[in-house]
Structure 1
């Protein structure tokens, strides 16, 4: 009887694994790693490989990707100014990292402490964008009033494609792609291609 109970649990565990949520990393203000869930470790590995040109990181396993440590440095700077918990309610530091075909959205938050910055904590969530890409480009289309063509350009930007590749795929000129990107940047209030993606994939 007890054995059956064990077996009936397995599918639920497998389902939980498939529905992996965001990766979560918690660091001290001195950048000491305090917590990292399994999803964060997996996504960090992917980012490390992208940063190392596809090779696994040579250094010790579990080393934080450069993109993540840079993000934490920005969060630390913000913690100097945003010293109250309420200062972080509407604020986060974001960047996109990893392989353009499997981009990962990093979102950094500070958890200030009344005892001063040395007691503060940094929290970073890591999330694969590809999984929510369709949903988000539809939402972005509405939110930023993008045309169908602009939405197609954004979807291809998310794949890390060059203007030339986008032009070929959409059967338009590179100049037209540049014009679309310019309009998308204006509508999303961004100044870079990465900035556009951060806006589009914001939850």
Structure 2
């Protein structure tokens, strides 16, 4: 990955043309440097979901909390991963927004030899809702999930708690936890969000 980010008009135009992907570039001090049209639209949707469905409550142009938290994780990682090559295989992911049409955030750091204050954060945003049903079926085959595990994943994608999943499937919360442990092992994930990232990427 290059040390510097080319933000001339041509690359901005290409970024805008990427079907469905929002692109946000920030400085390490969280100053917004670039946000394409798609990212702006997705940020509005995430803000609406974070504020109970009413976008009016969230100030215009304010970055969603999920996005700023993700950037906080990238900044922490930039203190450790100080070379561009350290970021070639590393990214911070989060699924957020409306559970019926979630948004996958993928964050990368672009270190700078001049120090962290010159580093850049790049976040891509992609809507996942359209392929959600297709993916749980595909993921079931890919990760060898049982029918019950697939049902748990589908409820996780809606943002449900263990208790809500247990009630829906008429099993105990402990059983839900066991299913989630098995799913984590099969998908090589360490968190509930990690499971969703794997499923949506499958």
Question: Tell me, what secondary structure is at the counterpart of 1:50?
Answer: helix
Q: Between Structure 1 and Structure 2, whose CA radius of gyration is higher?
A: 1
| 2:126 corresponds to | 127
Shift of 1:44: 0.7
| 1:22 corresponds to | 21
| 1:173 corresponds to | 171
* Worse-matched range after superposition: 83-92 or 145-154: 145-154
Once the two structures are superposed, what CA deviation does each residue of 1:8-45 show, in whole Å capped at 9, x if it has no partner? xxxxxxxx99x942111011111111111111111111
Shift of 1:167: 5.8
Distance 1:192 1:91, change over 3 A: closer
Shift of 1:191: 4.5
1:83-122 equivalence runs, <5 A = 83-122=82-121
Whether the aligned pair in 1 keeps the contact of 2:106 and 2:124 (CA below 8 Å) is: yes
Normalised to the residue count of structure 2, the TM-score between the two structures is 0.78
| 2:156 corresponds to | 157
Matched, 1:72 2:71: yes
Distance 1:85 1:195, change over 3 A: same
How many correspondences in the alignment?
A: 186
Question: Tell me, what secondary structure is at the counterpart of 2:95?
Answer: strand
| 1:148 corresponds to | 147
| 1:55 corresponds to | 54
Give the unaligned 5+ runs of structure 1. Answer: 1-15
1:29-44 equivalence runs, <5 A = 29-44=28-43
Give the unaligned 5+ runs of structure 2. Answer: 1-15
| 1:3 corresponds to | none
